[in-house]
Amino acid sequence: MKRRHFLRNTLLTGGSLTLGGFPINLLAQESQLSKLAATSTNDRVLIILQMHGGNDGLNSVIPIDEYDQYYSRRANIAIPKNGTNRALIELDSTLPSEAKVGLHPDMGAMKQLYDYGRLGIVQGVSYTNNNGSHFRGRDIWFMGGGANDYFSSGWIGRYLQQAYQPQIYPDDFPNAAMQDPLAIELGSDVSLVFHQNGNIPASISLGGNPDTFADLVDSLEGFVDEGIDPRGKPPVALDNSPYGKEMDWILGLEDKTDDYAQRLSQVWDASSESSVTYPETYPFNAPKNAKRNPLSGQLQLIARLLDGGGAGQGVKTKVFLLRIGGFDTHAEQVENYDPTMGVHATQMYHISAAMKAFQDDLKARGLEERVLTMTTSEFGRRIGSNGSYGTDHGTGAPMFLFGPYAKSGVLGNVPNLDLSNVEMQYDFKQIYAAILKDWFEVDDATIQNDILFRDYRNGADDNGGTYEPLDIIDSNIITSVNEFIKDKFYMKPCYPNPAKDQVTFTYRINSHTSVRLMLSDIHGRYSSTIVDEIKQPGEHQITFPINNLPAGQYIYNFQAGPIRESNKLTIIK
């Protein structure tokens, strides 16, 4: 590509770098930043998954004990509670009544993540005076402000602005310590979430092979000057003019983008393809253009960039943003012949199945503990459905957090279904504060004064309080995850033990899953199958005769969902 054509065709506020077939935007800036205290730059990564259009939370996370009222408010789109192969999936029978929920039947993979301690749900997330507009609502979430704020920067941009001080971005980047873009956005837009104070975000559009990221650099013709000047710009007499300075900045940004392209290509080449199978299509009938999973390729790309061949060779990029659309479901949210089918079902399946594959991929690459994924959507939908088998713009909705550090469980209660809208239980900035404080380890003062502006109106948020971080990040994942699982899946000690004629086994499971309970002798030889079938959630008890077995030491092995347990049984005569 000719340099002057490159400059003519590239906008400072737009453009994209295409990696593996997905447009990627790179953060950049124009002016120097104020030099403030540095925050932590640990190796943790945040992925923001934007559900574009406003997700219907009530058909994603469905009330169980209030199901009759839920059905009465949206009978034409309500997910069946039982009596069908595509009924709601009860999430957790151990939850209190006011918090008990089910998942859409196409969210089975998210149920698995929950059972394995990799999914947290926060109910009723919104902000005071929810705008109800796609564009304004998205800006409010991205800027990290309130309904009356018009910040020119985003909360992630402000975080990155603090985290890498006293270095100046992009003037001091890339460098030996940070060769990679600070943030990568999959898509063609430049989102407000990455804007920084006093800076103009910029990205450069480069062509790449949609199938092979390694072809990115080879596909470029290079920045060849047309022979007018070694730099392809006006005479040196203009070097110190505003025009000359601006041109120097543009040309410098061009060089940096080429450096990023080379670096990302090298990382991609060094990384291996996933050993995990990602979902490609929706397994049932799908509305037009909804069959293909739009997230799988994006998540595979992120996993490979973070891996880079292992041994810390992947990118150090802190934040990724990716999108999935199709949530503006005013009409035909469900099929008129089956409320479990339709565009909303496909999108929830795509997220659920792709995120399960992504978590498995990260675990296989040894990266799982570095990555936290959060969902956002500009608003939820109304409690009552409309006559077009859809839902109109609402306010609050659940947020999902994925990863072993996400505190598994459900925070908050089922919405008050007497209202028109899902009321706010938590301000989204409380979630941002938790991610900044407990995930990125940013100090409270920096969060308060420089990122979320807790004091932006005399020390108060829109409710007259402060943005207290929510308890959604676990610092001790091994203990916490194990305890979470053992509260829901367990095998009690058998009794009596020692036993003579019969023995009783009691176990609990938290999902509709296969259960296998085997008894073998101390040498590991097969003796008896006690249970080998799919069981419903809840506590189960079985009494098994042993009077035909010789006296001695035995081992009973229990497998169900995420747990594997073995214990001794002594048989006497």
The CATH number linked to 550 is 2.60.40.2550
Lowest mean pLDDT, pick from 57-61, 158-162, 394-398, 417-421: 158-162
What's the mean pLDDT in 24-36? 43
| Whether residue 66 is found in the same domain as residue 120 | yes
Instruction: Give the confidence band of 252 by pLDDT, cuts at 50, 70, 90.
Output: low
Instruction: Give the confidence band of 13 by pLDDT, cuts at 50, 70, 90.
Output: very low
Which of 432, 455, 482 lies at the terminal end of a domain, its last residue? 482
| Whether residue 453 is found in the same domain as residue 510 | no
Q: Which contacts of 129-135 are long-range, i.e. CB under 8 A and separated by 24 or more positions? A: 129/462, 130/379, 130/395, 130/396, 130/421, 130/424, 131/379, 132/379, 132/393, 132/394, 132/395, 133/378, 133/393, 134/53, 134/54, 134/328, 134/378
| Whether residue 182 is found in the same domain as residue 324 | yes
More confident residue, 27 or 64: 64
pLDDT score of 42: 86
How many structural domains does the chain have?
2
Greatest mean pLDDT among 162-166, 171-175, 209-213, 448-452 = 448-452
| Whether residue 426 is found in the same domain as residue 503 | no
| Whether residue 300 is found in the same domain as residue 335 | yes
pLDDT score of 571: 95
Distance CA 467, CA 454 (A): 6
| Residue 18: pLDDT over 90 | no
Instruction: Give the confidence band of 29 by pLDDT, cuts at 50, 70, 90.
Output: very low
| Whether residue 494 is found in the same domain as residue 458 | no
Contact at 8 Å (CB) between 293 and 282?
A: yes
Write down the mean pLDDT value for the chain: 84
Which of 482, 517, 537 lies at the terminal end of a domain, its last residue? 482
pLDDT score of 414: 98
What's the mean pLDDT in 420-430? 96
Instruction: Give the confidence band of 233 by pLDDT, cuts at 50, 70, 90.
Output: low
What's the mean pLDDT in 377-387? 97
| Whether residue 442 is found in the same domain as residue 508 | no
More confident residue, 49 or 481: 49
Residue with tokens 């009321």: 423
| Whether residue 179 is found in the same domain as residue 254 | yes
pLDDT score of 225: 45
Question: Whole-prediction pTM value?
Answer: 0.88
| Residue 350: pLDDT over 90 | yes
Instruction: Give the confidence band of 244 by pLDDT, cuts at 50, 70, 90.
Output: low
pLDDT score of 24: 62
Contact at 8 Å (CB) between 310 and 336?
A: no
| Whether residue 430 is found in the same domain as residue 447 | yes
- Residue 350 makes CB contacts below 8 A (sequence gap 6+) with 279, 282, 293, 294, 295, 324
What's the mean pLDDT in 59-80? 98
Which of 441, 466, 482 lies at the terminal end of a domain, its last residue? 482
Give the model confidence (pLDDT) of 55-64 as tens digits. Answer: 999 999 999 9
Distance CA 414, CA 75 (A): 18
Would you call 410 exposed, middle or buried from its count of C-beta atoms within 10 A (0-12, 13-18, 19+)?
buried
| Whether residue 58 is found in the same domain as residue 103 | yes
pLDDT score of 263: 85
Domain range for 566 is 489-571
Instruction: Give the confidence band of 566 by pLDDT, cuts at 50, 70, 90.
Output: very high
Cis, bond preceding 170 (omega within 30 deg of 0): yes
Give the model confidence (pLDDT) of 216-228 as tens digits. Answer: 434 444 444 444 5
Q: Helix or strand or coil: residue 519?
A: strand
| Residue 247: pLDDT over 90 | no
| Whether residue 508 is found in the same domain as residue 528 | yes
| Whether residue 471 is found in the same domain as residue 517 | no
Instruction: Output phi, psi for 352, to 5 deg.
Output: -60, -50
Phi-psi region of 144 (alpha: psi -120 to 50; beta: other; left: phi over 0): left
Give the model confidence (pLDDT) of 113-154 as tens digits. Answer: 999 999 999 999 999 999 899 999 999 999 999 999 999 899
